[in-house]
Structure 1
Amino acid sequence: MPNLADSGLVTAVRTGLAELADPAKAPEMQRYMKSLMPFRGVQKPARKELATRLFAAHLLSDVNTWTATVLELWRGAEYREERYLAVDLTDFRPYRRWQQPGLLPLYEELIVTGAWWDLVDEVANRRIGPLVRAYPAELAPVMRAWSRDRNRWKRRTSIICQLGSKDDTDVALLSDCVEANVDHPDFFLRKGIGWALREFAKTEPGWVRSFVAAHPGLSPLSRREALKHL
């Protein structure tokens, strides 16, 4: 099967990051993120400027080329910033019209192989979340399945994918995904539960108070985070 990735964009991203590299910053960035993959030492503002410039200069013609290019950047990454730009490419404005349930396998790969909060949370909140809101019949059952998956990052995604939903929150889905993980010992799931409930408390504080009161099995961390501003 031919590789549909835009090699010009892939090369431009890797070359651009190499030119911006700061070897003095790279080790500290890697330590902070507890990353096995090394960093170039390119901080977020410079990465964002590079992404905007290169993505605009290398516009992709169709969804298959776009998807293949994202995966080429992701799978072939030698530095973590390449993965950050791969995630950025999934949200570049000209391609937002391609956001459909059929992209779920792409995002699932980024979540499972990214396997750390800096990569997973962006995909969960800003890619999966809008799809859940736009296509609830198709994706709510998937999130319920993910909430019980063996992979903790898929579980975390199911819990936090509605962070920005406000009045559009599927309350039954939020409740189901949290309840599936109430007793789970994993820190990232407990923190995710507290985060999701704390954000929803900005919209429905009474519901969150009642939910927390009705679930004494919530970890102290989840409970504390959920009620932080109430």
Structure 2
Amino acid sequence: MSVDEQLVKAIRAGLAGLADPVKAPAMRAYMKSAMPFRGVASPERSAFLKGILAGHILPDRVTYSATVLKLWRAAEFREERYAAIALSGHRAYRQWQDRELVPLYEEMIVDGAWWDYVDELAIRRIGPILRADRAGVTPIMLSWAGDADLWRRRTAIICQIGAKEDTDTDLLTRTIEPAIAEPEFFLRKGIGWALREYAKTSPDWVRSFVDDHPGLSGLSRREALKHIG
């Protein structure tokens, strides 16, 4: 793979330079993370990454994908994985956000297996790719909705958050329905979140959906109707 090792090393060194070992244990505990933290707070991390990513543009798609994966796979601290996600979505590489990147994001979703990674990837990476290529990506999301992996399923449910009028309600329905009877918190919460956000655009549709699906958990129902009664 054509990894830009210079960028990888610069990101790791910069995060190490911002490390706060006093904050790190609390951040790790809050996120229930097996991987340690450097202790770099989100504003400082974002400012650092904004500068370094803007000043070091990768030359081609292969180098971009390989460098994202190197940062992700070789990460020793959680902030390095946050950096991989930030690199993946940098505006300089917007033209490469298409169906070919879905396997890369799928690896990060399944391997990351926690909400802080998955929600960003689902909503800000998979979602836009889906809206740009419904014919190609809708079948993938339908497959993920029935997958054994919790995080693929959550991604399928929440990937349309923020789509507003562009929401495919048939897809939303078909990704939610297989999870309705599941006891898993992250699925129930994801269902409620997806419906609550779409209710800002179409409250009547959400009310009807909730009425038509009496098997929804109390959590999903409360979240869905939170702002519309």
TM-score range relative to shorter protein:
over 0.9
TM-score by length of structure 2 reads: 0.99
C-alpha deviation, 1:55, in angstroms: 1.0
Is 1:163 matched up with 2:161? yes
The letter for the 2-side match of 1:140 is T
Matches within 5 A, 1:78-227: 78-227=76-225
Report Cα offsets for 1:5-33 as digits up to 9, x if no partner. 10000000000000000000000000000
8 Å Cα contact 1:182-1:218 kept in structure 2: yes
CA apart distance, 1:52? 1.1
* Runs (5+) with no aligned partner, structure 2: none
Residues 8 and 58, structure 1, Cα contact 8 Å, conserved in 2: no
Separation (CA, whole Å) in 2 of partners of 1:98 and 1:175: 29
Once residues 33 and 19 of structure 1 are traced to their aligned partners in structure 2, the CA distance between those partners, rounded to angstroms, is 22
- Where do 4+ consecutive residues of structure 1 move more than 6 Å? none
Aligned pairs for 1:11-50 (under 5 A) are 11-50=9-48
What letter is aligned with 2:54? Answer: A
- In 1, the alpha carbon distance for the partners of 2:52 and 2:149 equals 34
**Identical-residue share of aligned pairs (%):** 60
CA deviation string 1:41-100 (max 9, x = no partner): 001111111111111222100011000000000000000000000000011111011111
Contact 1:21 1:40 in 2 (8 A): yes
- In 1, Cα distance between equivalents of 2:50 and 2:227: 36
1:106-156 CA-partner distances (Å, limit 9, x unpaired): 000010001000000000000000011110000111101100100000000
CA distance in structure 2 between the partners assigned to 1:132 and 1:59 by the alignment: 25
Partner Cα distance (1:172, 1:205) in 2:
16
- CA–CA distance in 2 between the matches of 1:58 and 1:8? 9
TM-score (norm: length of structure 1): 0.98
* C-alpha separation in 2, matches of 1:46 and 1:68: 26
CA RMSD of aligned residues (A): 0.6
Following superposition, the deviation at residue 191 of structure 1 comes to 0.1
Q: Distance in 2 between matches of 1:91 and 1:121?
A: 13
Give the number of equivalent residue pairs. Answer: 228
3-state secondary structure, aligned to 2:33: coil
Matches of 1:156 and 1:55, distance apart in 2 = 29
- Distance in 1 (alpha carbons) for counterparts of 2:95 and 2:137: 18
